[in-house]
């Protein structure tokens, strides 16, 4: 077996590979840019090599620097992770030419499958169901429109070398094709150094289902079941699960056998994923093949018990697969939430900054479920503008789909992050969404269920009652602490803390009576009472305890006269008062937010790529005003209503903070 491997990647996937290599007794080498000098993967690896400036094009994407690092450290093999150079045929070939093993498929398989256009041709030759489309290179917007008109709308414009949602646009008209073509080519060139795009039919109300395949260098290929990845926004997966609630055993076998046939046709010899777009009637069409480890691979690992990274390493070394297709068994259900540094209340735009608080849930058993958290960050670390905004991948595994979802919801309640915006409120709300729980999914789920965008859900009913009880329990704990403050003035009688608490929770109001019964705090809400047990201490970002014997977690942050709480997908400020304080608080005037309607504010930290208007210009609603690039995504900002530009306060190339004023209107 290899004694030392290099990981040509960063973040959580680099940490993930290091964990398996360490378990196998293999030493690891990390590479890092200036921006990642203090990153977690650098600390975890046995050795680390600096490879350049923050921009990926000058560091992680430079093949020569990776090879130099291998030679300098004596690394015998390279694991590419996902993204960056993982699907670059030239990288695999360069390693081979230098006597270094690529922990991935052979260059020929990458050439055939890594290119989205060539992979569709190979799939058609292998009798795999394919989506109608134009597989040739498209040279101009006009050519793209002609092709789209012939195929029929809607169509998908997609980068040939793409992945991760970059260089992809859905178009419903000729005008959208022309605009989408330009954006897809630009993003593809920026992200992959390859601006080729193609057009194919977009299946209405589709589901995204993929088959995990695993091959060795001796001609053996097996499939490890499927993953459902239909919960997406901007073509970027957000939540994945395995298996799919859509498929039956016959359809699973049919998809798996087609995936294996395609892999064998190109002599595939590593872990890879064959992606399909599926109709609600279980019809399916080949989408593309990813010749690398997928972001969502943990859900497959959880239901099969197979470590895919270990298998990739063993196969790369030349070992035969240790199991046959008949020995692959699917056990239970796994759900994964991608935790991103983004603001779901602002259209999921990226967020950057320092992780002031980063407290993930405890990994390991949770009743019948299992919790796993793959991450590449740490408390005090920084989310950079240069790379993908992923913070962690939270995975739960349980005997049934509903149990896995419930475990995921509990784990998200116990996941505390502060200092940046993040999408935990969204994925937490999703775990309680009736349509998600029912398994009625499509890639349009987010757009259909949140047409006006995502707003933080407010607590109602039982959830609101639990949050009120948690707020009172936290306030009571603070009062207990006050009683034990040293050097208090001796009085002729002890101060009696009031037992009645009024909780103002959004628009709701709760009155609770507090009684202590040993370690238990009983809170009476009229005819209803809740027994609360917790060892929470003031300042901890997560409250854990039981309410009437049921385990509950909530995110807790102190605010003036109360707490900001997050629980069961709902978020609210809970103000806790004595009855007299509540009377006075009701008389306080509310602060009204300033009117920002006459300003265009930067919705996320980013760089101004283009200003499309000038001072004095009249613009119509929907007209492009400027373009801001953040985390490799180009975002065109549009006018919300008819207006005249009075001032432009930013210029091309400026780096802007969130809510920075770009221009003013009159």
To 5 degrees, how large is the angle CA 581–CA 584–CA 585? 80
* Letter string b/e over residues 492-502, b meaning 16 or more CB atoms within 10 A of that residue's CB: eeeeeeeeebb
Q: Using omega within 30 degrees of 0 as the cis cutoff, is the peptide bond preceding 243 cis?
A: yes
Cα(27)–Cα(23) distance, rounded to whole angstroms?
A: 10
The string of DSSP codes covering 84-111 is TTTT-HHHHHHHHHTT-EESS--HHHHH
| Own/partner pairs, 508-516, CB within 8 angstroms, 24+ separation | 508/459, 508/460, 508/464, 508/468, 510/464, 510/465, 510/468, 512/468, 512/469, 512/472, 514/472, 514/476
465-482 burial code (b ≥16 CB/10 A, e <16):
bbbbbbbbbbbbbeeeee
Residue 567 contacts residue 552 (beta carbons within 8 Å): yes
Give the three-class secondary structure for 604: coil
Q: Would residue 127 be called left, alpha or beta, if left means φ above 0 and alpha means ψ between -120 and 50 degrees?
A: left
Q: Are 53 and 39 in contact (CB under 8 A)?
A: no
- H helix or E strand, kind and range, residue 514: strand 508-517
Beta-strand relationship, 27-33 and 4-7 = parallel
Radius of gyration of the chain (CA): 27
Tell me which residues are annotated as active site: 288
Half-sphere exposure of residue 604: CA atoms within 13 angstroms, side-chain side: 30
CB distance 163 to 87 below 8 Å: yes
């Amino acid at each position: 077996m290899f004694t030392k491997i290099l990981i040509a990647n960063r973040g959580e996937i680099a940490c993930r590979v290091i964990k398996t290599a360490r378990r196998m007794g293999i030493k690891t080498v990390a590479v890092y840019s200036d921006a990642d000098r203090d990153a977690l993967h650098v600390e975890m690896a046995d050795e680390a090599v600096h490879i350049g400036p923050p921009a990926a094009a000058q560091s992680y994407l430079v093949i020569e620097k990776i090879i130099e690092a291998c030679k300098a450290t004596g690394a015998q093999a390279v694991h590419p992770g996902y993204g960056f150079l993982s699907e670059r045929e030239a990288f695999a070939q360069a390693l081979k030419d230098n006597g270094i093993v690529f922990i991935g498929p052979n260059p020929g398989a990458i050439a055939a499958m890594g290119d989205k256009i060539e992979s569709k041709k190979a799939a058609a030759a292998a009798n795999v169901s394919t989506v109608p489309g134009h597989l040739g290179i498209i040279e101009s917007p006009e050519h793209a429109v002609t092709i789209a008109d012939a195929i029929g709308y809607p169509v998908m414009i997609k980068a040939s070398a793409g992945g991760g949602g970059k260089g992809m646009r859905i178009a419903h008209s000729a005008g959208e094709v022309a605009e989408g073509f330009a954006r897809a080519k630009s993003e593809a060139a920026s992200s992959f150094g390859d601006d080729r795009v193609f057009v194919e039919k977009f299946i209405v109300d589709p589901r995204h289902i993929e088959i995990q395949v695993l091959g060795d260098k001796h001609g053996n290929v097996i499939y490890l079941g499927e993953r459902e990845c239909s919960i997406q926004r901007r073509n970027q997966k957000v939540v994945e699960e395995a298996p799919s609630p859509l498929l039956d055993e016959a359809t699973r076998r049919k998809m798996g056998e087609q995936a294996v046939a395609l892999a064998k046709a190109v002599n595939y010899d590593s872990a890879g994923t064959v992606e399909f777009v599926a109709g609600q009637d279980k019809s399916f069409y080949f989408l593309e093949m990813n010749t690398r480890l997928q972001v969502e691979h943990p859900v497959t690992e959880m239901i099969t018990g197979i470590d895919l990274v270990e298998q990739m390493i063993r196969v790369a070394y030349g070992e035969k697969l240790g199991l046959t297709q008949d020995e692959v068994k699917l056990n239970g259900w796994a759900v994964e939430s991608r935790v991103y540094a983004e603001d779901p209340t602002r259209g999921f735009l990226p967020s950057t900054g320092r992780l002031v608080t980063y407290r993930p849930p405890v990994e390991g058993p949770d009743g019948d479920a299992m919790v796993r958290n793959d991450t590449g960050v740490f408390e005090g670390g920084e989310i950079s503008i240069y790379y993908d905004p992923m913070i962690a991948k939270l995975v739960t595994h349980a005997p049934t789909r509903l149990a896995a979802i419930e475990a995921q919801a509990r784990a998200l309640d116990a996941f505390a992050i502060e200092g940046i915006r993040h999408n935990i409120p969204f994925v937490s709300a999703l775990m309680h969404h009736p349509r998600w729980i029912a398994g009625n999914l499509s890639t349009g789920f987010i757009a259909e269920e949140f047409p006006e965008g995502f707003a933080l859900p407010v607590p109602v009913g039982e959830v609101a009652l639990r949050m009120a009880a948690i707020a009172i329990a936290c306030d009571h704990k603070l009062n207990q602490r006050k009683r034990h403050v040293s050097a208090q003035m001796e009085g002729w009688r002890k101060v009696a803390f009031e037992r009645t608490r009024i909780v103002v929770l959004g628009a709701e109001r709760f009155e609770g009576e507090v009684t202590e019964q040993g370690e238990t705090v009983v809170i009476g809400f009229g005819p209803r009472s809740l027994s609360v047990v917790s060892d929470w201490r003031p300042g901890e970002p997560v409250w854990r305890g039981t309410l009437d014997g049921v385990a509950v977690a909530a995110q807790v942050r102190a605010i003036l006269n109360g707490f900001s709480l997050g629980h069961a997908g709902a978020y609210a400020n809970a103000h806790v008062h004595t009855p007299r304080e509540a009377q006075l608080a009701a008389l306080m005037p509310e602060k009204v937010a300033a009117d920002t309607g006459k300003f265009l504010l930067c919705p996320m930290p980013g760089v101004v790529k283009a200003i499309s208007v000038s001072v004095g210009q009249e613009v119509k609603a929907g007209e492009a005003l400027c373009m801001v690039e953040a985390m490799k995504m180009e975002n065109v900002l549009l006018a919300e209503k008819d207006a005249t530009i009075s001032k432009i306060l930013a210029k091309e190339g400026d780096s802007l903070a969130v809510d920075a004023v770009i221009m003013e209107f009159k």
